[in-house]
Amino acid sequence: MVGSVLSNRYELLENIGAGGMAIVYKARCRLLNRNVAVKILRPEFQEDEEFLKRFTIEAQAAASLSHPNVVSVYDVGKHGKLNYIVMECIEGITLKEYMHRKGTLSVNEAVDFTGQIASALEHAHQKGIIHRDIKPHNIIITNEGVLKVTDFGLARAVSASTNVAGASAIGSVHYASPEQARGGFTDERSDIYSLGIMMYEMFTGSLPFDGETPVAVAMKHLEEAPVPPMEKNEQITPEIQNMILRAMAKDTSERYPSVEALITDLRLLCGGETPQMHTDKFSTRKLPSLVQEEVVVKDRKKKRRKEDTVAVAAAIATAVVIISVLGVFAAKMMFPSGGKKVVVPSLLNMSISDAKQKNKKLDIVEKDTVYSSNIPEGFIIEQDTAEGTKVSVGTKIMVTVSRGTQKIELADYVNKKRETAEKELKLLGLVPQFSEEHSDEIEKGSIVRTNPNSGYTLRTGDTVMLVVSLGKSEVEVAVPSLYGHTEAEARKLLEDSELIPVVLEPRTSSHKKGTVIYQSVHAGSMASQGAAVEFAVSTGELEPAGPGENYSFILPLPEDKEKVSVQIMDGARTVFEGSYETSHSPVTVNFNAHLETGTVQIYIDNAYYMEKRLEKSEE
């Protein structure tokens, strides 16, 4: 597809990504002379008329959005069987890539990002447009640090079509609201829930719900409460935690009723501004008051730790005095179990924190950590004391804890052979997927680029997209007219067009000796650079013919012009010229000529139109 021009306007420059619904190309708009992003729907979506109708309606609705935090939609079109959407071309990375690289964001940055996303959603919701697939993969961070939300309205087009293969796979279950998980009614509050999940991830560095299958994750959205964010990041204040959990409320009536309400809380958090402030302030302003708040929180915690240390020291001193006075009685008070036994439960698939909390009569000790693609990070994989064993109170139970899926830094596969890259990626537990495109720099069969790029951190089971070179792209040129030219002139015309001349045996003819009377590829047609074009010259041996024969045939005319000129050629000789109004198409052409072969070439407005075999008229 690279090098193609859609609708005689959008020249595809390079493949820059692929998703479940479309392949994305960087393109050049020839009309406005600017770079754009063109999303071409995948083949499985091209045949569903109901989906294409919905796709066009939703894309046109998204085009009505104009906001600094929204990727603009410029055009929706069709080229042959290809349906596409033209969008603003953004240089940057996705928010998901940014979080992979950075991990937990600072409180200041997380609030800033939340505000920018909320501002975009507020603008869309005021226009009656719900995103339905808010996730960090659909948010781009520009090189200037501005967040841009993309794909507004497209998730609705997918969900509205029941005939599209794989439609249920569109989107990410990790960010789907409970009502989306159960296939219920969705509105603006569904976007708020998805934003709440993203807030949780930005503030804590991890998703609130994860599982081995999409169904398992969806069930957690429906049934489980998330671990409070403050337990994962001590920098989070109670106010921030309440905002996150309110946005993530499973019951829509308990969620923020609108994005405006969430933005109001963000403003108050940033320093008590009134709700009437412009919402687009989040796209550029910094949050100094939050930085100060973090310092206050840290100072408060340091003071609390100091007070706790003093209290512990006082308690120890008191205990020493008691022991020295009461002796044996104190010893009995310190060991109240009296040698009682407890039964060791199964700790497998339990988080280490839950295991310690629920089994306070045992001393649960983390012995080792190992990678696991099945057991989430922080959960117990094995225990050294079997379930059902009776042990004394306080006995140490050694456990092995999962480190989660192994993180893999993607190597540089550019210029490596496809087979080598595929083998290496599979050995690492990654899933390679391939696409192809022409490349003038990369050898055929070698990797042009990968998505994500080298150096990106992945987990076992992640997919890596690899673009394989098809070699240099074929450039097409227009074949020149050789009729009437000498052999030397014909050779030069073809060589100047980077075509290969092939001279055939001269042909008996009454045309001037040594002039071209035949060429194998019609003048004006397109041929690949380096293609061979055969031609033959006249011997000039035949005497000019006498009176010609009458010819008559019906000629259909193109309808894109009101009037056209028609020229009929017998090799290098013009045998007829005339003009016709296209409203009379098809027209009857009559002429008298001596044709050496009976086959003529027809040109309309000096451009090759067709070749036709004629029979003599009976009149």
Active site positions, annotated: 133
Q: From the CA atom positions of the chain, what is the Rg in Å?
A: 37
Burial class (CB in 10 A: 0-12, 13-18, 19+), 342: middle
What 3 state SS string does 18-30 have? ECCCEEEEEEEEC
Cis before 43? omega within 30: no
- One DSSP character per residue, 249-316 reads -SSGGGS-SSHHHHHHHHHHHTT---TTS-GGGGGT---HHHHHHHHHHHHHHHHHHHHHHHHHHHHH
Q: List the helix and strand counts (H, then E) for the chain.
A: 16, 30
Parallel, antiparallel, or unpaired: how do β-strands 363-370 and 396-402 relate? parallel
Which secondary structure element, helix H or strand E, spans residue 82, and what is its range? Answer: strand 82-88
User: 463 in helix, strand or coil?
Assistant: strand
Sign of CA dihedral 466, 471, 477, 479: negative
Burial 575-608 (b: 16+ CB within 10 A, else e): bbeeebebeeeebebebebebbeeebbbbbeeeb
- Closest by CA position to 78, among listed 35, 112, 49: 49
Strand partners, 15: 25
In the 8-state DSSP scheme, what is residue 379? B
Parallel, antiparallel, or unpaired: how do β-strands 92-94 and 139-142 relate? antiparallel
Instruction: Please tell me the distance from the alpha carbon of residue 437 to that of residue 469, in angstroms, as a whole number.
Output: 5
Instruction: Please tell me the distance from the alpha carbon of residue 538 to that of residue 321, in angstroms, as a whole number.
Output: 126
Instruction: Please tell me the distance from the alpha carbon of residue 245 to that of residue 401, in angstroms, as a whole number.
Output: 28
Residue 609 near residue 603 (C-beta atoms within 8 A) = yes
